Structure 1
Amino acid sequence: MVGFQRLQDERVHSGKSIVRSCRTQAQCRRRAFGQSGTVACCAEKSPEPPKKIAVAHRADTRADGALPPPNLVSVIIPCYNHAHFLEQAIKSVLTQSYSDFEIIVVDDGSTDNTTEVVRRHSPVRYVYQENAGLSSARNTGLRHSRGKFLVFLDADDRLLPHALETGVGCIRERPECAFVSGRCRVIDSKGAILPSPKQLQIEREHYVQLLRGGTYIWCPATVLYQRCVFEFVHGFNPKVNPAADYDLYLRVTRDFPVYSHAQIVAEYRKHSSNMSRDVSRMQHAALAAHEAQSNFVKANCHYREAYDAGQSFWKNDYPFQQMVTRIQQVVREHLPRDASIAVASSGNTELLRLDGRRAWHFPPAEPDRRGELFAQGAEGSAITSPWIEAGMTYEFSLYGGPEFSRQLARVLVKGVADPFPIASAEAAPQEPVRLDGVLLTAIPNPVHASEEPGVTNITWSTGDGSEGQLYVSSMGVYAGRDPADSDEALHLLESTKARGAQYLVIPAKSFWWLDHYQKFREHVEARYPAVARDEETCIIFDLRESS
């Protein structure tokens, strides 16, 4: 039975014991993989990469002792009450360009129509178990699989058509690697592409990168494993759900070479029932997986530095990142795409990444704060550097007249992840329009900025040949401080409304506002309806309507 088994690995105090432990580990690995030679021990100097693995057929055996078919990929789909997504997951495998695969759906005690969905697809093998969690379901699928290669596809995610072909091609070129991994794109519950940060492509020190916190592997389905690695790591650890993927990546990359490629091979779905939305549980599990490496890293200063950085990430940075993600989800569910939003951000620009919606800091700087000077002249055309990011809105303003005191024109430029955004008046590409001879336009707009930041071409003219200045701001420069009292907070709110704000978002990290500015709180809650209220995420007030 395949299950998690922690290997004995005491990396302790003296140099001799470290070397002896490394030799023991190397011998264990050679027995599991049929490798000859040695591995680099964990010394105080810079670590060496893991040695290449010569894979033996004996280590490739399945749980029943048989050799796996030489080219077969087993796609294991654990499912717990995700029948409404499962159909898409299965079809994404059936439409692969690589044809030598099997699909195993492990029903983890679902109470929905998972069984009916599977029955509609005859090639799919169905395995039922009492509810035991994601790691257990994956281990069950591993136990029932026959393939030489393995992919674990969550039921709410999808593979892109070339995923298996890409993975198998990479692993054949690098047979010494335990797994290869690619990139994903992020989609919502309906399959629309969502903005996401740039994904890292790690070329070396994968273990160190994972030790630093987080994971460069966003979606489990982007990973294609050699079956033989599970002879060594023994599957997923149910004790660290929902961070079992991260735990496995740490255990594998610590001892084996892996490879990361740049191909997008899967779609990772964000929706209201994602397991990773339970931030406290995820944080606790990730810390447990991370701290399981503490003995291993003690003898190496490079590893220790990465480990300390990872502890800080999981304890401090991760909760904030997840709050930002949840705010994006709440905004997506409750506010229109053309909404104008003021965010009590404390100056953190991450909180303004709201899928291209117009958003600015609250409290904002005084109106005469224009942002950064982009260009100057009576007329001209300039291409921005690649800094336009998906989910952000940028304001370009043209000023002229005496001392450039008069705003002549402005244009809003959106960065979007989807190359085919939902059509709207604001999303439609803009054509040059002259008003009293003044010209200011951006082409393209919106700007496609999925994997990399995008660029746009700004064209301007003051119309009368006089000198002009063109400024750019990411929608509202932060005032640099919090309001002095409730009266100032209310004044700033009204001025923000006058500048076009339709909604006010107060993130959970700024809930202290509602206690500190009592008069402000009473005014807002009495006057403006809350369209969303999540005590762990944010409160959103509709500034357009008065109660």
Structure 2
Amino acid sequence: MATVEIIDVSLTEVVPARLRGRYFQVIPVTGTSSAGHSIEIAGWVLGRECPVVAVELLNERNVCRRAPVNNYRPDAAKIYPNVPEAAYSGFKINMTVLGLTPEIEFLVQAVLKDQNRVPLGVIRARRSWRRDTFDTNPPLVSVVIPCYDQAHFLSEAIESVLAQTYPHFELVVVDDGSNDNTAAVVNRYPGIRYFRQENQGLAAARNAGLRQTMGEYLVFLDSDDRLLPSALEAGLRCFRENPACGFVYGHCQFIAFDGASMRGLPPPVVKVDFYLELLRSMPILAPASVMYRREVFESVGGFNVALSPAADYKMYYDIARRFPVSCHGEKIVEYRKHGTSMTRDSLRMLRANLAALRLQRQHVKADRSKKEAYKAGIKFWKKQCGPGAVQQIKALAETGQWKRAIAGSWTLLRLCPSYLSLLMGDKPLPRKIRDWIERNVGETAPSRSRGDVSQQLVQQIRQVVHTRIPSHAKVIVVDKGDGGVLELDAREQWHFPEPKEGSPEKLLAAGSSKGSKEVPWMNVGSAYDFRLYEGKGRRKLLGAIKVMRTEGATLSAALEPVPARNTTGTGTILWNSRNDSESEIYVSMSPRFSGYYPLDSNEAVARLEALREKGAEFLLLPCTAFWWLEHYPEFKLHLEDRYRVIADAKTTDNTCIIFDLRCASPAKQRSVTSV
């Protein structure tokens, strides 16, 4: 169990010119420790000439949390009775320490309305793990079994849990909309909790089961696999010996459809950094061989439903990047290989695993060894899934499933073009598939689109919308705001984020980090916004200028580069009024020049709720916008907690996700921070 100890809290001197006063306290208090993985900072701060709008918490010069200053504080109002804003000068910050270094130092600073920062104090803390006393206080282990039309295997999975040598566990079975007798099988075993939901996929079923459990440790057992009797005991013993681990794991034994043992490859041995090995290959073969520490699992977030076939590896990446991982080396799972297993769908596995790995790109690009491991991992998954994808496409073509065969060929061309030669092979394909490949193989495989999604994807999304969304409904579409529309028949389509005023933002230039561009089309009297973004997709705004051209006058700015740690920089303003009269230059400042995408989850939620209040009824995320759910995790939780999913990635073949905004769940409503 995680513990947090507050070593010291030191307040900085008040700057009279900027602040009237400040006060904050930390829980747990100085000199004490508490079980858990978070600290709470609450207090008030009052500006003098410039009001305080927020308080930030920094660790190693990175902003970890930002809270608005708007809480009611009667103690501040009593101290400053003649200052109206004193009554609402309070703030509160909750900060988890999971994933941080054992010795932690936080800087607390006030953010003024003019965007200047004033330090308030420094908090020093220590994070540690308390060894669980398993003998005197045995922890509860939660085992979740998601099941979809696997009732014929389910009894074996249940009985393997009931046969565990470690007795302190709870078992939850999640029926993911099965069409067989799953419920009847569960009813044979008293004491097992059963939960049924509409079919939403493996990752969503696991998340649903997690919400029904209370254990300190978690195991997710697929309904067609079996735990060996000592599985839970081995995992807990490894945690006791390695209390700082985020998860521990063991090895598996392959079994056939009838449960007979199969010969498999020797279990991989990880001798280097586990995160590097995860990036490079597939060291964990069976999901049930992993035991998670619950508080670590929840700090990272649940399984990613958009990556359901590879949601477990997405979880492994996120935890191993921040926490130690240990392997106890024992065989604890019987992993069944059969024709109906999801892992046999090589095309889905190829798409999902490459997508999950590519989400790690932002975390590895600054480290050479991690970057090399990442590149090796891309090759590994192509080699792992490519041949199976080829055989799957051939089987689809031979059975006359032309639409799915062509879609699979497109996936292969986009992700593994080198395997097209295997697809052409010695045995000729039907002419319909062969002609399609010959037409497309010479074209460049598309990179991430800067404009509208492909026409094929548009058609697939329209079909989903036609069956799931009523006509004449108002639909928010997460797009790039460049004027492209999906033409959803009579349904009213709203761009999200909303386009800026004036004409849609269009790409002016792209390429290297330096350059210039002549723009001969600037109209006299019109204003133009120019924005510089890093990389592709307009996700990180680096600089912006607004210019207006008038007859006979010029005004321009030359800005010097600003070092990463500086908050100010040098610039030169050049002007020429083109006449003999005197001229004046005025300047104003705003807190920030907004980029196209929201700065954080709070802003994304606020923008969404503003559109909902205007009458929006549905939210549609095309697959080109799935990265939102990773980039804005609190935005994702807001959607999942409040609104019903009427089309998920699994049921739409990874083309889109649709949320019904018409009725928010009253029991799960969240407060939205205004922006």
- Return the TM-score normalized by structure 2: 0.41
Flag the structure with higher strand content: 2
Q: Which has the larger radius of gyration?
A: 2
